Amino acid sequence: MTEESRAEDFIADAERHNEWWSEGVGQDLEEAVDLTPRSDFHKILEAVHKHDEKGTDNLVYPIYGSTGIGKTTLLYQLVAALIGTTEFPPKDPEFDIVSSISPRQILYLPLEASQYHLERPGEGIERLKQVIDYFYSHIAPRHGTKYILIDDVDILNLDENEKETLLEFVNEDTYLFLTGIVKEQVNLRELTKADKIDHVERPWGVLPMKFVDTIGHPEEEGGLSVDFNHEFREELESLRSDRIAGPHPIKDVRRGLNLKSSDTSINSAIDSLNSLYFEFFNPSERDDFHDAARDYLRKGGTLHQTDDSSIRNEIVRSHFLLYLYKGLAKYGSIQNPENLHRLSSIAASQGGEELQYTEISNRIGVDRRTVDSYLGILDDGIAVTESHDYSLRRHRRTRLYLRNPRHVVLLSQRQEHFGFEEYSQQNDLNFDFEYKLARTVAFDHAMRLSFAVKAYEVEYCPTDAGLVDYVLHREGKVLPFILSYHPHTESAEQIATEFDPGVGQHTEDDSEDLRDLDYEAPYRFIITDSLPKEVRENGSLVVEKNDVNICYLPFWLFLLIC
């Protein structure tokens, strides 16, 4: 086959994937717009709107996340919103960018679904260049912004020089979107040619939907069984976003807890928490949130297009194993990808319990350094995240958390997760496993909160009375959270009062030297599935014990603010 005919094959394939150029929207686009868009979509659409509004000439927007997480759906929904051939999206009509783009201004290239992975190393990027040149010269109009969406760029296995070539695709009036499975594959900000681009966004990680986002999705798509009506969901959205008129107490909580700002007023965050619980939500709505949070533990923020639980489980399991054995193994050059599977299964079975690194090494049969490299790859893939001891300078122990609670079900033993095979509430009671899921979900949401409040990481801290499960800190400002969830509810207040923020030890960046910090925790937080009677009667989430301010957070309220 000649070089010319080979290029023609790739161009013809691109034409079939971009049916909106000539034949309407196409089946893939129709299926994508049938799904309720998640918050990541609205964030990206808003970013495109703002850049278009201020006249940004060219833009690079990188996106990453695990196999099956919804990156392709997100790109298709962006195409649908821009060309406006369907009534999509169902909100954000105030964005001028919606329905303003000609179909021939958009090129979508799904590299995994094309033949790029069949090319020899280094040739895939050349085929990509030929297709994009054809788009510029034969498809796109001369004027107007061009949108190039390259899906699954990870299959090209690009080195740093080849990643520079991606920036060569960005001409004047070009917005380039990239997806990959880990941040490093799509991060172009540090490249030399990035200086010639108007704006290169930081990579945006797509995670399983968090609790507050899942509320807005129909149950048949993986949403919650609790029926929040449209008006209530709109009101909830207004509490989160200052784009909508009215009070924004959820955003005010985050702003008050911000650990980076020197003028942070944590008291304002506490006031907003009290307002949320006692003023904005009535008792019936609070009960609904409580039930919805328990339902979320079973569903884990994963969208589906089937109601059959066995099919849902098989899809989630297959996507995760494909991600481990193919995606992450290739990314990390792992010769024994089953070890990534083993580590994930350990994280599922232990459910956040403390582990010695020597124990992990012995269980999978590799040395400590190899364990560290495996855990680093799993963390890069936002599959398994470590939590370290807040009070130790050198880490000999760790706690492992899967980031998707459904993976805890699918990778644990049947005798552990019985009653949770289905996505709906069953008659079997398994409170210990529910607690394990609650701990996993709370950690995942604490990680998201740490991003919002500019904390470094999420750690844990043992006390004589028990565990402070999640510790967020930055520059000596500390936010400690204790999980008190049935059946593990004892000693929460004692743990909170015994916690000494001064035991924290943290080193300077890229150094073994300890940082000289004055650790301070004005409040300690208890995350609970049942508020104490005195809190409900006093009308305040805060109680004082032994000169320590303790703020009780209902489990659902904690999830809501993250």
| Span 4-56, pLDDT tens digits | 667 889 999 999 999 999 877 788 888 888 888 988 999 999 999 999 999 99
2: pLDDT confidence band, cut at 50, 70 and 90?
A: low
CB-based contact 184:380 (threshold 8 Å): yes
**Amino acid letter, 519:** Y
Three-state SS across 201-261?
CCCEECCCCCHHHHCCCCHHHCCCCCCCCHHHHHHHHHHHCCCCCCCCHHHHHHHHHCCCC
- Is residue 201 domain-shared with residue 257, that is, in the same domain? no
C-beta separation of 32 from 77 below 8 A? yes
Residue with more model confidence, 261 or 187: 187
| Domains identified in the chain, total number | 3
Helix (H) or strand (E) holding 450: helix 431-452
- Asked whether residue 283 falls in the same domain as residue 355, the answer is no
Question: Where is 63: in which H helix or E strand?
Answer: strand 58-64
Give CA–CA dist 556/289, Å, rounded: 6
Tell whether 494 is covered by a domain: yes
In this structure, the answer to whether residues 268 and 136 fall within a common structural domain is: no
Q: For 373, left (φ over 0), alpha (ψ -120 to 50), or beta?
A: alpha
C-alpha Rg value of the chain to the nearest Å: 24
Distance CA(194)–CA(190), nearest Å, equals: 7
Amino acid 84: pLDDT: 83
Domain boundary among the residues 205, 224, 246 is at 205
pLDDT at residue 235 tops 90: no
Please, what is the angle between helix 283-299 and helix 431-452, to 10°? 100
Are 276 and 321 contained in the same domain?
no
State the average pLDDT over residues 91-102: 80
Among 205, 224, 247, give the residue marking a domain's end. Answer: 205
Cβ 106 vs Cβ 18: under 8 Å: yes
Q: Provide, rounded to the nearest whole percent, the portion of the chain with pLDDT above 90.
A: 74
Model confidence at 245: pLDDT above 80: no
Of residues 175, 198, 174, 202, the one with CA closest to residue 188: 202
- For 110-157, the pLDDT digits (tens) are 999 998 988 888 889 999 999 999 999 999 999 999 999 999 999 999
- The whole-number pLDDT of residue 264 equals 65
- Predicted confidence (pLDDT) per residue in 470-512, tens digit: 999 999 999 999 999 999 888 999 999 999 999 999 888 777 7
254 assigned to some structural domain = yes
What are the residues whose beta carbons fall under 8 Å from the beta carbon of 93, sequence distance 6 or more? none
Angle between helices 124-134 and 3-17 (to 10 degrees): 60
Residue 304 belongs to some domain of the structure: no
* 383 and 279 belong to one structural domain: no
User: Are 3 and 119 spatial neighbours (Cβ–Cβ below 8 Å)?
Assistant: no
Distance CA 524, CA 512 (A): 29
Q: CA 293 to CA 438: how far, in whole Å?
A: 9
543, exposed or middle or buried, with CB in 10 Å at 0-12, 13-18, 19+? Answer: middle
CA distance 404 to 437: 10
What pLDDT sits at residue 262?
67
Q: Examine the domain organization and report whether 315 and 392 are in the same domain.
A: yes
Judgement on whether residues 182 and 217 belong to the same structural domain of the protein? no
pLDDT at residue 93 greater than cutoff 70: no
* pLDDT at residue 443 in the model: 98
CA nearest to 253, candidates 274, 233, 236: 274
CATH number at residue 176: 3.40.50.300
Alpha carbon distance 318, 326 (integer Å): 11
Do 200 and 244 lie in a common domain? no
Query: In 10 A of CB 209, how many CB atoms?
Result: 24
* Cα pseudo-dihedral 278, 281, 282, 287, rounded to 10: -110
Looking at the fold, whether 190 and 317 belong to one and the same domain comes out as no
Round to whole Å and give the CA distance between 355 and 353: 6
pLDDT tens readout for residues 196-213: 999 999 999 999 999 999
Q: Residue by residue, what is the 3-state secondary structure of 474-538?
A: ECCEEEEEEEEECCECCCHHHHHHHCCHHHCCCECCCCCCECCCCCECCEEEEEECCCCHHHHHH
235: burial class by Cβ within 10 Å (0-12, 13-18, 19+)? middle
Domain end position, chosen among 167, 185, 205: 205
| pLDDT mean across residues, the chain | 92
pLDDT value of position 380: 96
Residues 267, 338 within the same domain: no
- The region of weakest confidence among 230-244, 247-261, 427-441 is 230-244
Mean pLDDT of 303-308: 79
- The reported pLDDT for the residue numbered 229 is 86
411/471 same-domain check: yes
Q: For residue 510, what pLDDT is reported?
A: 76
Predicted pLDDT at 26: 81
**Predicted pLDDT of residue 512:** 79
Task: Determine the Cα–Cα distance for residues 53 and 191; give it in Å rounded to an integer.
Answer: 26
Least confident of 20-29, 75-84, 180-189, 516-525: 20-29
- Domain of 428? 309-561
- Pair (13, 153) in one structural domain: yes
- Cα distances from 58 to residues 43, 63, 83, 169, 447, in angstroms, run 18, 17, 19, 11, 32
